[in-house]
Amino acid sequence: MHGLSETFPLDEASIHLALEKVPAEDPARIRELLAKARAMQGLDDGDLPPLMAIQNPDLLSELFEAARWVKDQIYGNRIVLFAPLYVSNLCANECLYCAFRASNRGLTRRALDQAELAAEVGRLLEQGHKRLVLVAGEAYPKEGLDYILESIRTVYGVRHGNDNIRRVNVNIAPLDLADFRRLRDAEIGTYQLFQETYHRETYAQMHPRGLKADFDWRLGCMDRAMLAGIDDVGIGALFGLYDWRFELLAIMHHARHLEERFGCGPHTISMPRIEPAEGSATSDSPPHAVTDGDFKKLIAILRLAVPYTGLILSTRERPEVRREALQLGISQISAGSRTSPGGYEETDLEGGAQFSLGDHRSLDEVVRELSETGFIPSFCTSCYRMGRTGADFMDLAKPGEIKAHCQPNALATLQEYLDDHASDATRHAAKLMMAESLAGMEDPVRRLAEGMVNRVKDGERDVFC
Ligand code: SAM
Ligand code: SF4
């Protein structure tokens, strides 16, 4: 039994050992593993190194094919959309890869006041967003965590015509148990935090000063969050700092630890790759840069290893990488993003930003492309508002029952977007895709979806089940 002070006991040595024992590429063994993955029960530690080592193009195609199949079985063709909302770039830490780090004197620093924040939310609502992730550096104005809590209240409180933000996820520095309880009470969706690297020595090199220099404080963060009653947590690593194979196995260990301890693993996993950040030599040439080929491989393996965990891809990635990644198992993407506080109000895309983006397209363009390529862009925020979080969500997700909610919710929220925000070209593309999706659905889910879409067409808003 774990005590309150216990944390995730990361066993680096066992990961190194697993990575050392990779056998020569054995097609029969790899196909056995892919067949196992298609049972959608996940994969074990020892299963990952042979998959990570695949070089043969035919076997690689089979890996991608298996990932696509598992994704289709569990998520169908839905892709959830969100945007980051940077409230402050003040930071006392010294992460070598980040433009917000304290010693970067060139950066224009800013913490939005509540009126500025409300204006940002207005801009996001104008675009059509319903789901945000609130992001900040680790140094708040004098109010400390109260600043974040007030910001969350502000975000939920902004109204713009028919619209409001319906789910606020947060990505802020680790808290203690008492503060995590306060964050839980602010009705956040997911609490997200990336370990950056699970490799202790690299972590120490990359985080030389500030509170973030404490590797163990960060490592135990999700245990504290879940102990405090936050059901949905999102983990991840910043790819490029250390060997991606090591990070992938460590993420698996972390997920398994949370599942064993709390009866529910992470709600999402993110896999940001390092992008160029102003004044950061490390970000210009990451020590273990991950190639596009390896990046696709790691997404596909994650999809097979943790089939029921959402996988998030941000606008750090270029459109062509995002297109391919969607086929391999990504379930949520950001769109129309800015990574500076006040960025949605401003025209200067890079000023005060945390890193530069790979995808500059608007939300409307992304919705159009998703529709044209057969995906249903979804603005659904139903689960957490219906109390389907943590283990309750997983209990529905695992037997596939969650789909009966997701498809209708995706279509109803997309209809809302089309009526209130879309360009003519996007509306046209999405209508064709929606008709096809409905035609391919079976009753009673199709009837439910049609009914919900028609209610939205008749003027009702925020229709969900
Ligand atoms: N400041 C808090 C922290 O570091 O945990 C929370 C938010 S931080 C602004 C969000 C994430 O941005 C970090 O966890 C890191 O993974 C990512 N990040 C930082 N610099 C980056 C870069 N140059 N390229 C891509 N992602 C970066
Ligand atoms: Fe600060 Fe977070 Fe950037 Fe590190 S990654 S410098 S903690 S904002």
Within-domain flag for 365:
no
Across 15-25, average pLDDT: 88
Within-domain flag for 323:
yes
Residues 350 and 426 in one domain: no
Residue 355: band (very low, low, confident or very high) from pLDDT cuts 50, 70, 90:
confident
Residues 450 and 336 in one domain: no
Give tens-digit pLDDT for 63-88.
Answer: 999 999 999 988 889 999 999 999 99
Residues 449 and 347 in one domain: no
Across 282-307, average pLDDT: 97
Residue 400: band (very low, low, confident or very high) from pLDDT cuts 50, 70, 90:
low
Residues 386 and 442 in one domain: yes
Across 436-458, average pLDDT: 94
Residue 394: band (very low, low, confident or very high) from pLDDT cuts 50, 70, 90:
confident
Whether the CB of 212 sits within 6 Å of ligand 2 = yes
Q: Which atom of ligand 2 is nearest to the CA of 207?
A: 4
Within-domain flag for 416:
yes
Residues 136 and 280 in one domain: yes
Within-domain flag for 109:
yes
Residue 1: band (very low, low, confident or very high) from pLDDT cuts 50, 70, 90:
very low
Whether the CB of 137 sits within 6 Å of ligand 1 = yes
Owning domain of residue 113: 72-357
Residues 321 and 433 in one domain: no
The answer to which of 173-187, 234-248, 378-392, 434-448 has the lowest mean pLDDT is 378-392
CATH of the domain at 268: 3.20.20.70
Residues 334 and 407 in one domain: no
Within-domain flag for 463:
no
**What CA–CA distance (Å, rounded) separates 273 from 287?**
12
Ligand 1 centroid to residue 193 C-alpha, Å: 9
What whole-number percentage of the chain has pLDDT above 70?
97
Pocket test for ligand 2, best of 96, 101, 354 (most atoms within 8 A of CB): 101
Q: Among residues 357, 372, 395, which one ends one of the domains?
A: 357
Task: Look at 2 and 271; give whichever has higher pLDDT.
Answer: 271
Copy the structure tokens of residue 341. 């506080």
Residues 312 and 398 in one domain: no
Nearest to 77 by CA among 432, 459, 377: 377
Tell me the DSSP string of 352-415: T-SS--S----HHHHHHHHHHTT-EEE---HHHHTT--HHHHHHHHTTTTTHHHHHHHHHHHHH
Q: How many domains does the chain have?
A: 2
